[in-house]
Amino acid sequence: MLRTEQLRVWQQRWALTSLRRVTGLGAIALMLSACSAAQHVSHGEPAIESNALRDPQPFTRLSPATYTPEEWPQALTADVYLPDDSLGGLRPAALVVHGGGWRNRKPEDMQGIAERLAGQGYVAVNIEHRFAPEYRFPSQLHDLQQAMAWIHANADEWQVDTSRIVGGGFSSGAHLVSLLAVAGVEGPLAEPYGGEQSRLAAVLAGGLPSDLLKFDDGRLVVDFIGGTRSEENEAYRLASPARQITPQSPPFFLFHGKWDQLVPVDHATDFYQALQNNNIESELYLQRWRGHFASFLLSSGAIDAGIAFLNRQVKLYPSG
């Protein structure tokens, strides 16, 4: 089978699998009607144009394992996907985080993306995290930092190059991964569980709520933070990735639906501009005629472009 045909079949499998997991079959009509809906608005050549994707390779999914310490408030598990082909040495890893408004959903939503990353040669780690309102910010960030510590602890067994760990997520999962990425190795977001071992090499973020102060005082964000913007203004600022960007932040690939009403598209465009202002390599992939959920369910082309971007950042395969 030709490489282009393999990628087409992989994309169709991902789209159909995502639809089955998150919606009913009635959404398939939406998928079939939404072709050629992407727009790269980045500066420079997109990574996908330099042939930075590999034919999907076999991988093994391990049994779910607890990644949190015994004393953690809630035991949390991760699904780990190990590539069967290590390419002869250490390989990159990917921390994968699901969406759900910080309050629900499961890692199963991200299974297709974790599988595609594993097929490209990443050790993919698809995690649970604690939910609001029982657990509020920064509890979820602390969960991700524990997951990073767990990846480091298992790096020898899984043949992971810890300098090449990337992050991927959608919606609130994209928020948490992005916040981890911009937290830095010291400062209020890095304490007490972060630091050098929480450093990400690059990020793939879809439907990212990048600035929580842009939202009205709706239930999702208020439950996550623990108060309104006027009551917890500093926490809102600290929890907003757009307000934590520095020149040391890692490269980002962003994708976002232009019709997104839940997380308006300016969360992506403003975040992208802030990255550019700090000379951080980044790509912005806007999806025409798609709202928040459709931008995830019909994200196959964006995911391919995003993984190509990650591949280029971790130098997984030579361009050509």
Domain residue extents for the chain: 3-313
How confident is the model over 27-49, as a mean pLDDT?
62
The position carrying tokens 């960030």 is: 141
Quote the percentage of the chain above a pLDDT of 70. Answer: 86
pLDDT of 24 > 80? The answer is no
Q: What is the pLDDT of residues 177-235, one digit of tens each?
A: 999 999 998 999 999 999 999 999 999 999 999 999 999 999 999 999 999 999 999 99
Give me the mean pLDDT over the 131-150 stretch: 98
Q: Quick one: pLDDT at residue 87?
A: 59
Q: How far apart are CA 113 and CA 293, in angstroms?
A: 15
Residue 290 pLDDT level (bands cut at 50, 70, 90):
confident
The per-residue pLDDT for 316 is 82
The CATH homologous superfamily of the domain defined by 3-313: Alpha/Beta hydrolase fold, catalytic domain (3.40.50.1820)
pLDDT > 90: what percent of the chain? 75
Query: What per-residue confidence (pLDDT) applies to 86?
Result: 52
Query: CB within 8 A of 7, min separation 6: which ones?
Result: 53, 55, 304
Res 136 pLDDT > 90:
yes
Angle at 122 between CA 82 and CA 76, to 5 degrees: 65
CA–CA distances in Å: residue 103 to residues 21, 35, 119: 18, 32, 30
Res 38: pLDDT: 62
Burial class (CB in 10 A: 0-12, 13-18, 19+), 230: exposed
Q: What is the rounded radius of gyration, in angstroms, for the C-alpha atoms of the chain?
A: 18
Low-confidence winner among 91-100, 150-159, 310-319 (lowest mean pLDDT) = 310-319
CA distance 226 to 146: 22
What pLDDT is stored for residue 311 in this prediction?
A: 97
Q: What is the rounded average pLDDT for all residues in the chain? A: 88
Q: What is the pLDDT of residue 11?
A: 47
**Confidence label for 317 from pLDDT (cuts 50, 70 and 90):** low
Residue 25 has pLDDT above 50, yes or no: no
pLDDT above 70: residue 320:
no
Q: What is the mean pLDDT of residues 272-278?
A: 98
pTM exceeds 0.85 for this model: yes
Choose among 38, 72, 85, 69: nearest CA to 256.
38
